[in-house]
Amino acid sequence: MITGATSGIGLGCARKFAENGDKVILTGRNGGRLEEIRKELTEKGAQVLTLVFDVRDRAEATRCINALPAEWREIDVLVNNAGLALGVEPEYEGCCDDWDVMIDTNIKGLLTMTRLIVPGMIERNRGHVINVGSVAGDAAYAGGNVYCATKAAVKALTDGLRIDVADTAVRVTNLKPGLVETNFSNIRFRGDTARAKKLYTGIEPLTGDDIADVAVYASNAPKHVQIAEVLILATHQASANLIVRKE
Ligand code: 8X3
């Protein structure tokens, strides 16, 4: 099950897990886009189920998970990918509604999905939770404030879950991407595509597929191997705060 599967890292994971031969459950808010992706993957022979809900809507998420057909109920891998950044204002001038959306999606949505899916993994003593964190959770950067805090929370929640399931065979991974060229910056800059594009110039950024490769690797590692955390950066990004751009 991949949340936020309609674009970016989530879509990369949908394609790569499907290529890997896994049945995939794709969730997202955009039903039309989910249907297009379902068709694309089904034509390539994958088994795909789509669920339209917003991870912020706990009641709807619960309803969708409880209504899963019997043959789709045993979820072995949960990729908690749904998340976003909104705005780059200084913390003291930030938009409170944006904070709510980021906190409700990146932290509370991830928790909701964990709460709904992990009990079944514990019962079966089998499963893997892959949370999409960020280099932003390791160190704050200018204008990142609340977004960075949500990704620091993802790090703490991933570590906490790993501790809580350590007596089971369930594995827990924190994937921490740096600069990935997706719709992420368009959303963050509220549709200012020129500004978003500038962020990815002078450097070859990562793609959603690059991150998905690591997710598939982690989930296929031998059962005694737990890839606890991976920081994935473009070659010319050294940290959250240092990117070397070439003309
Ligand atoms: C996305 C990466 O560096 O824009 O989490 O925060 S960054």
Q: Is 135 in the pocket of ligand 1 (CB under 6 A)?
A: yes
Q: Is 137 in the pocket of ligand 1 (CB under 6 A)?
A: no
Average per-residue pLDDT for the chain: 97
Residue 247's pLDDT is 75
Protein residue whose Cα sits closest to atom 6 of ligand 1: 136
At residue 167, what is the residue type?
D
| Domain spans in the chain, listed from the N-terminal domain onward | 8-232
The ligand 1 atom nearest the CA atom of 237: 3
d(CA 78, CA 128): 6
For residues 158 and 131, the answer to whether their CB atoms sit within 8 Å is yes
Residue 150 CA to ligand 1 centre (angstroms): 12
d(CA 142, CA 9): 24
Q: Is 136 in the pocket of ligand 1 (CB under 6 A)?
A: yes
Residue 137's pLDDT is 98
Query: Sheet of 77-80: strands edge to edge?
Result: 77-80, 128-132, 171-177, 229-232
Protein residue whose Cα sits closest to atom 4 of ligand 1: 179
pLDDT in tens, 98-154: 999 999 999 999 999 999 999 999 999 999 999 999 999 999 999 999 999 999 999
Q: Is 13 in the pocket of ligand 1 (CB under 6 A)?
A: no
Q: What percent of the chain lies above the pLDDT cut of 90?
A: 100
d(CA 149, CA 75): 29
3-state secondary structure of 173: strand
Chain-centroid distance of CA 111 in Å reads: 13
Determine if residue 8 is left, alpha or beta; phi over 0 gives left, psi from -120 to 50 gives alpha, anything else beta: left
Chain-centroid distance of CA 167 in Å reads: 25
The arithmetic mean of pLDDT across residues 228-238, rounded, is 98
d(CA 129, CA 116): 12
Torsion of CA 49, 52, 58, 59, to 10 degrees: -90
Q: Is the pLDDT of residue 29 over 90?
A: yes
Residue 15 CA to ligand 1 centre (angstroms): 22
Q: Is the pLDDT of residue 64 over 80?
A: yes
Q: Is 145 in the pocket of ligand 1 (CB under 6 A)?
A: no
> What is the value of pTM for the model shown?
0.97
The arithmetic mean of pLDDT across residues 94-101, rounded, is 98
d(CA 196, CA 205): 12
Q: Enumerate the active-site residues.
A: 147
Q: Look at domain 8-232 and name its CATH class.
A: alpha beta
d(CA 9, CA 134): 12
